[in-house]
Amino acid sequence: YNFWTFRSLETGISLEATLLALALAYQMRQHQAARMQATYQANHDPLTELYNRRGFMGPARSAWSTAERSGRSLSVILLDLDHFKQINDAHGHSVGDQALVTCARMLASAGRAGDVVARWGGEEFIVLLPDTDQAQACALAERLRLALADCPIETQNSTLHITASFGVAERAESSQFDD
């Protein structure tokens, strides 16, 4: 026996423990990244990258609760792209997808930091507006309507202008979130 052979077992165990700790940390980071990716995919629409209906509900309920406690106004805009089925039938689903993405980008860029924008259904979008009364929400809806009509979509044969129908509602004192 000499010093190196006597200490080789301790060195080997230390090295093995270090490698095991590094491998475990790497696996935990991979698991955490996969979990975050799964959560993102569960709450976001893959085409538009906006919240989907499920993802919208968390921030919306939180904003509703805050508005209710503080007595502040809260409004919502719901919009539905006009004649969307005809766009898909006449120009194909890729142009329909392009129309959805164009609308989503316009809505996301037009909102404030605290607004919550989501794809509510097939061609429906919703915008939650904290600290916004109905008159302000109507004015924003009109600006959004004009901006959307001003976003042309180039197809192989023509330029398409999409329009949408808008609805606006404000939180009433006695209303519930689902109302």
Given the residues 16, 123, 142, 173, select the one marked as catalytic: 123
Q: Rounded to an integer, what distance in angstroms lies between the CA atom of residue 120 and that of residue 149?
A: 20
Asked whether 166 and 141 are in contact (CB, 8 A), the reply is yes
Angle, CA 101 vertex, CA 98 and CA 104 arms, to 5°: 150
Asked whether 30 and 21 are in contact (CB, 8 A), the reply is no
> Is residue 170 annotated as part of the catalytic site, yes or no?
no
Among residues 101, 56, 66, 103, which one has the least CA distance to residue 82?
Answer: 103
Q: Say how many CA atoms lie within 13 Å of 127 toward its Cβ.
A: 30
Asked whether 164 and 80 are in contact (CB, 8 A), the reply is yes
117-150 per-residue burial string, b: 16 or more CB within 10 A, e: under 16:
bbbbeebbbbbbbbbbebeebbebbeebbeebee
Residues assigned a catalytic role: 123
